Amino acid sequence: MKAKAGAWLRRTWEHDLAWGFRRSPVTVAAAFLTLVCVGGAVFAPWIAPHNPFDSASLVLTDGFTPPAWVAGGRMEYLLGTDDQGRDMLSTIMYGSRVSLAVGLASVLFSMVLGVGLGLVSGYVGGRLDAFIMRVADIQLSFPAILIALLIDGVARVALPRDTHDQIAIYVLILAIGVSGWVQYARTVRGSTLVERSKEYVQAARVIGRSQASIMLRHVLPNVMGPVLVIATIHIATAIITEATLSYLGVGVPATQPSLGTLIRVGNDFLLSGEWWITVFPGLALIVLVLSVNLLGDWLRDALNPKLR
Amino acid sequence: MRADTLLELADVDREFDVSRPWLNRLLEGEPRRSLRAVDGVSFSIRRGETLALVGESGCGKSTVARMIVGLYAPSRGRIVFEGADLADPASAPLRRRMQMIFQDPYASLNPRWRVRDIVAEPIVAHGMAPDAHALAARVAELLTQVGLAPEDGGKFPHEFSGGQRQRISIARALSSNPEFLVCDEPTSALDVSVQAQILNLMKDLQQRLGLTYLFISHNLAVVAHVATRVGVMYLGRLVEVADAKDLFERPRHPYTRMLIDAIPDIEMSGRPRTPVAGEVPSPLAPPSGCAFNPRCPHANDRCRAERPASHALPGGRSVACHAVEEDRIPDL
C-alpha cells in the first residue's frame, strides 16, 4: 500500500502538468497565495485572532485602531479595527469565506447548467439547439452584472424582507450562477459537435446505447477539459461580481459581510483618514482574484497541446 | 429469398437534405435540395460469406453500411435481417447480432475509456454478463482471441498502435456474440504490413466463429483477398454483383472493367486496358439514364435516356448495363 502511494506520488510529480507547474515561478507563487487565501478563509473560525461577529467580545473603544505599524496601532489588531472595534484581519478572513463560498457555489451552478444545456444543444441539435443558443445570444447581449442585479431585484420584491435576508446568499449564488452559464454552454456545444461526429460515438450507437448514456458516459468526459479552464477563470470573475453586487448594496446582508461589503462599509471612512478599513479588504480581493486568475491562465496553457 | 440469406436489401434509397439554411433559401429563392447517396440498391448476403462493396469515394458504400447497422434510416426500401424488417421496432433485439468495425482506429475508441471498458460495452449494454467476474473473464478471452494480452485491458487506447487499436475494435465488435459484422474500410487507415495481419485475423475469426461479413473497401487488392462475392457501386447504384473470382477474371460492367484495369499488373501481361477516364459526376445532379454513361466507351442513346435495370446472368451474377444486356461489348 505504501509502495503504491509512493509510486503514485512519483508519477504525479513527474507528470507533464506538474513539470510545467514547477517550471513557472509565477504559477507557484499564485498557487501559494491562493492556498493562503483559501486556507485563511476555510479555517477562519480556528485561526482568526478574533471573532468579529461575537458582539460580546467587541470592545467599542478599540474602534478605529490603525494597523500595528502605524503610530497608535496595537499588535493585538494587526491590520487595525473598524468603527465598531472589529479586528480587520479577522473580518477579512471571515469575509473571504463568504466571497469564496459564493464564488465557488455560483461557478458550480453555472457549470452544471451550462454544461448540461450545451451538451444537449450540441448532441440533439435541430430546433432545441437553435432555441438554447438564441437564448444564450440574448443573454450575452446584457452584461452579467445587469442580469445578476435583475434576478436579485426580482427576489427582493417577491420575498418578504426577513426571508430575503436569510436566503440572500442563495439568491446571490443563483443570480451570479445564471448570469454565467452561456460561456460553458457555448464551449461545450462546440466540443460536443466535434465529438458527436467521431466514430466512437457512432460505435456506441451501433452497440445500442441510449442517447442519455452516450451523452453522459462518452461525450461528457471528452468535453470537460476546456470547461475546467473556464471554471477556474470564472471563479475569479464570480468573486468580483459578488464583490460588485455587495459593494452596490444588493449582495449579502451586512450581518454576514463579504469582501465587497467590507469595502463598501470602509469607503465611508476613507475621507476621514481611516483608510485601512477599506484598503485591506480591497487588497485581499485583488490578491485572491489575481492569483486564481493566474492559476487559470496557467491551466489553460498547460492543457492546450498547441502551446506546449 | 433463399434459405441461407442472412441479410437482404430491397430497393433501398437514402436521401440527405443538403439545402442551404432556411433564411438563405427564402432570400435567394432557392428550392430545397437533396442528395441521393444510395439509389435503389438491392442485394442479399448469405450466411458465412463475405460480401465486399467496392467503388470510388462518394459512391454510397459507407452509407449502405451505416443504414444496415441503423445509424441512418433508409428513405425508401426495406432492410431485412433474419426475415425481420429492421425498420420495425420489434426487431430491435436483432441489433445485438450485428456489429460494426470502423475505418479510423484512432477515432473509433473513446480516448477516456480503458480498453476493458471499451470491449465490455456491448456486453454491459445488452446485459449479457451475470456478474463482474464473468465479465472480466469474457473480456480477457476476447482480448486473447484478437491477439492481445488480457493485461492490455487496463491500458488506454493511446498506448496502442493503429493495428492494435483495430484489434481492440474487433474485440469490441465480437463481444456481444454477433453473427454479422459490417466492416467499413477496416484496414484503409493502416500500414500495408499491418493490413494483412488484420485481414488474416478477420478471416481466421470468420472461420472459427462462423461470421458473415459485409466488407466495404475501395482497395481491390484487399477485396480480392477477403471477399467471396463482390458488389460494385457507382454513384449510389449497384452496377454489378458477382462471385469474387468471376468478377476479377471476367468483369462485365464497363465500370468494373475500368476499375480492374486500374490495378497495377506486376506480370506485365500487356493486355489492352481501358484507362480510367473522366470524373465522377456530382451526385446532386446525376446524369440521365445510366449514371455511368458520360464515362462509358460503349454508351449509346438508350444508355443516355433509360436507366438500366439489374438483370441476372449465369453463375449468380447480376449486371445493370444496357450494353451487356444487348451483348454490345466484346469479351476480354
| pLDDT tens readout for residues A22-67 | 888 888 999 999 999 899 889 988 988 888 877 777 777 777 788 8
For residue A54, tell me if it sits in a domain. no
The answer, for A203 touching chain B at a CB cutoff of 8 Å, is yes
pLDDT band at A191 (very low <50, low <70, confident <90, very high): very high
| pLDDT in the model for residue B238 | 94
**CATH number of the structural domain spanning residue A135:** 1.10.3720.10
CB-based contacts of B260, cutoff 8 Å, min separation 6: B220, B247, B248, B251
| pLDDT in the model for residue B117 | 94
For residue A57, tell me if it sits in a domain. no
Distance CA B260, CA A281 (A): 80
| pLDDT in the model for residue B316 | 85
Distance CA A97, CA A256 (A): 10
| pLDDT in the model for residue B44 | 92
Q: Are B69 and B182 in contact (CB under 8 A)?
A: yes
For residue A2, tell me if it sits in a domain. no
| pLDDT in the model for residue A154 | 86
| pLDDT in the model for residue A233 | 87
Whose grid coordinates read 445493370?
B320
For residue A168, tell me if it sits in a domain. yes
Distance of CA A305 to the CA centre of its chain: 26
**Please, what is the angle between helix A25-42 and helix A16-23, to 10°?**
100
| pLDDT in the model for residue A168 | 83
**Please, what is the angle between helix A88-124 and helix A259-270, to 10°?**
130
Element of type H or E holding A260: helix A259-270
Residues from chain A contacting residue B70 (CB–CB below 8 Å)? 205-206
pLDDT band at A12 (very low <50, low <70, confident <90, very high): confident
DSSP 3-state of B213: strand
For residue A73, tell me if it sits in a domain. no
Q: Are B211 and B97 in contact (CB under 8 A)?
A: no
For residue A6, tell me if it sits in a domain. no
The answer, for B109 touching chain A at a CB cutoff of 8 Å, is yes
B window 127-156, beta carbon within 8 A of A: none
The answer, for A290 touching chain B at a CB cutoff of 8 Å, is no
CB-CB under 8 Å, B70 with A222: no
| pLDDT in the model for residue A273 | 81
Q: Are B129 and B123 in contact (CB under 8 A)?
A: yes
| pLDDT in the model for residue B205 | 95
The answer, for B282 touching chain A at a CB cutoff of 8 Å, is no
Residues from chain A contacting residue B102 (CB–CB below 8 Å)? 199, 202-203
Instruction: Please name which of B292, B320, B284, B288 lies closest in space to residue B304, comparing C-alpha atoms.
Output: B288
Read off the pLDDT of residues A124-174 as tens digits, 9 standing for 90 and up.
998 999 999 999 999 988 887 888 888 888 888 888 888 877 888 888 898
Whose grid coordinates read 446582508?
A253
Distance CA B54, CA B268 (A): 24
The answer, for B62 touching chain A at a CB cutoff of 8 Å, is no
Could you give phi then psi for residue A262, rounded to 5 degrees? -60, -40
Give ∠ CA B245-B247-B253 in degrees, rounded to 5.
Answer: 170
For residue A242, tell me if it sits in a domain. yes
| Residue A285, domain extent | 19-45+80-307
| Test the A interface: residue of B110, B117, B184 with most A CBs within 10 Å | B110
Interchain CB contacts (distance < 8 Å): A and B: 53
Give the residue from chain B lying closest to A198, CA to CA.
Answer: B107
Residues from chain B contacting residue A215 (CB–CB below 8 Å)? none
C-alpha distances in Å from residue A232, one per residue of A17, A176, A187, A237 = 16, 15, 14, 9
The pairing of strands B317-319 and B237-243 is: antiparallel
Number of folded domains that form chain A: 1
For residue A98, tell me if it sits in a domain. yes
DSSP 3-state of A81: strand
Give the residue from chain A lying closest to B103, CA to CA.
Answer: A199
Given the cut 0.90, state whether the ipTM is greater than it. no
Residues from chain A contacting residue B109 (CB–CB below 8 Å)? 200, 203
More confident residue, A286 or A156: A286
Distance CA A107, CA A112 (A): 9
Instruction: Please name which of B14, B20, B54, B55 lies closest in space to residue B37, comparing C-alpha atoms.
Output: B14
More confident residue, A111 or B193: A111
What is the nearest CA distance from B238 to chain A, expressed in angstroms?
25
The pairing of strands B229-234 and B50-54 is: parallel
CB-CB under 8 Å, B104 with A199: yes
The answer, for B162 touching chain A at a CB cutoff of 8 Å, is no
Instruction: Please name which of A238, A248, A240 lies closest in space to residue A282, comparing C-alpha atoms.
Output: A240
CB-CB under 8 Å, A203 with B172: yes
Residues from chain B contacting residue A207 (CB–CB below 8 Å)? 99, 121-122, 125, 172, 176
**Which residue among B66, B104, B121 sits closest to A207, beta carbon to beta carbon?**
B121
| pLDDT in the model for residue B332 | 57
Q: Are B51 and B64 in contact (CB under 8 A)?
A: no
User: Splitting chain B (332 residues) into consecutive groups of 10 residues, what average pLDDT does each group show?
Assistant: 83 89 82 88 93 90 92 92 87 87 91 93 89 93 94 92 94 93 91 91 94 92 92 93 91 89 71 71 86 88 90 89 86 61
| Test the B interface: residue of A206, A215, A216, A222 with most B CBs within 10 Å | A206
Residues from chain B contacting residue A218 (CB–CB below 8 Å)? 110
